[in-house]
Amino acid sequence: MIIFGVDFGDTRTGWAVCDRSEMIASPAGVLTEKNFLHCAEKTAEAAKNARAELIVVGHPVNMDGSRGPRAQKCADFAEILREKSGIAVVLWDERCTTVSAHQILNVTNTRGKKRKSVVDAVAAVLILESYLAYRKNQAAD
């Protein structure tokens, strides 16, 4: 199944996509869009263009498991994305993905404008990889 991963942000939204075998998650781009509705529309279009059968949206749950305003905004985004794309959408816990993305970019010595332009796509890949690992473990049980 082709799955589209999304790291939604107020300014930049990262995209990732996996292959049909669900083995490899790859960056699919970063959208710079501050308008909430336009971001959802463009993300829905990108998911459809990727022939996605499922969309996974990062859900920023607090470390204590509570859900704040940011988590609600992502849930609202996911709902509009589902309506605009006609594709099923899953919210997926994204705790620490942006921190991990920055750590990966530190290891690869990615700095400055290049870093800013890819960190959200790397975070989307991490969200998608986490979801794929979950699916794989569920199938094994």
Query: Quick one: pLDDT at residue 56?
Result: 98
Which uninterrupted H or E stretch holds 21? none
Q: How far apart are CA 17 and CA 27, in angstroms?
A: 7
Q: How far apart are CA 65 and CA 74, in angstroms?
A: 15
- Token pair of 130, please? 């986490």
The Cβ of residue 88 has, within 10 Å, a number of other Cβ atoms equal to: 11
Query: Which residues span the domain enclosing 125?
Result: 3-140
Mean pLDDT estimate for the chain: 87
- Provide the CATH number for the domain around residue 18: 3.30.420.140
pLDDT band at 61 (very low <50, low <70, confident <90, very high): confident
- In this predicted model, what pLDDT tens digit does every residue of 74-130 receive, in sequence order? 999 999 999 999 999 999 988 656 666 666 666 666 666 665 667 788 889 989 998
Closest CA to 124 of 85, 95, 97, 89: 97
Count of structural domains, the chain: 1
Alpha helices in the chain (DSSP H): 36-49, 69-85, 97-107, 112-140
